[in-house]
């Protein structure tokens, strides 16, 4: 029992730490950058580029206010399910690596829930000319669960102004290898899942 309590405390501290990092970065970007503003970090292949999305990870859209509400509620249900699963893993004495991997996924899901649930209530709207600012509770740009998720990590590793005409689909069009703009919470989910699939797959058999 003492061992389980220590693991539970570890999970709580890990998730809180990852969540705080995600939110610090998002709030700094939202309160210091205008929409679509980009700051180069490493040459031309890594930018901090501020966008907001009303959809799923990596800027994918679900469509309309109903889609946004559905996605927010789905995330909440998923977080509850993942939390329950972590508790079950701890009781089953699962390997620490498995517990850490699932906890990282949980932190990522929580990070984007915070955006959609509360950012619309506490921030003014970000525009292409104005930086968002904190406002009194409930006087922001959107209602509860309808806020936009802040994205900022952009890795245009390969950019071609115009693809040759003979190239299928992109012929004559500009092309960017890995064009999605995402956030730290998205990377938590992706890295956690990849880690579990590559290094902890034996446990899930």
**Which positions are annotated as active-site residues?**
151, 186
How many other C-beta atoms lie within 10 A of the C-beta of residue 37?
A: 17
- Please identify which residue in the block is written with the tokens 């999605």: 180
Q: Which of 204, 186, 184, 187 is nearest to 196 (CA)?
A: 204
Q: Which of 141, 97, 96 is nearest to 118 (CA)?
A: 141
């Amino acid at each position: 029992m003492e061992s389980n309590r220590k693991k539970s405390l570890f999970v709580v501290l890990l998730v809180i730490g990852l969540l705080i990092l995600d939110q610090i970065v998002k709030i700094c970007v939202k309160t210091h950058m205008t929409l679509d503003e980009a700051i180069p970090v490493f040459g031309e292949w890594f930018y901090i580029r501020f966008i907001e999305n009303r959809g799923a990870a990596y800027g994918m859209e679900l469509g309309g206010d109903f889609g946004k509400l559905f996605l927010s509620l789905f995330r909440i249900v998923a977080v509850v399910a993942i939390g329950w699963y972590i508790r079950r893993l701890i009781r089953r004495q699962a390997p620490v690596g498995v517990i850490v991997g699932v906890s990282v996924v949980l932190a990522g899901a929580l990070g984007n829930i915070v955006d959609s649930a509360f950012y619309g209530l506490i921030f003014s709207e970000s525009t292409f000319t104005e930086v968002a600012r904190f406002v009194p509770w409930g006087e922001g740009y959107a209602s509860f669960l309808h806020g936009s998720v802040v994205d900022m990590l952009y890795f245009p590793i390969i950019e071609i102004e115009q693809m040759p005409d003979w190239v299928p689909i992109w012929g004559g069009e500009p092309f960017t290898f890995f064009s999605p703009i995402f956030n730290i919470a998205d990377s938590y989910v992706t890295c956690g899942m990849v880690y579990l699939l590559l290094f902890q797959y034996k446990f899930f058999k």
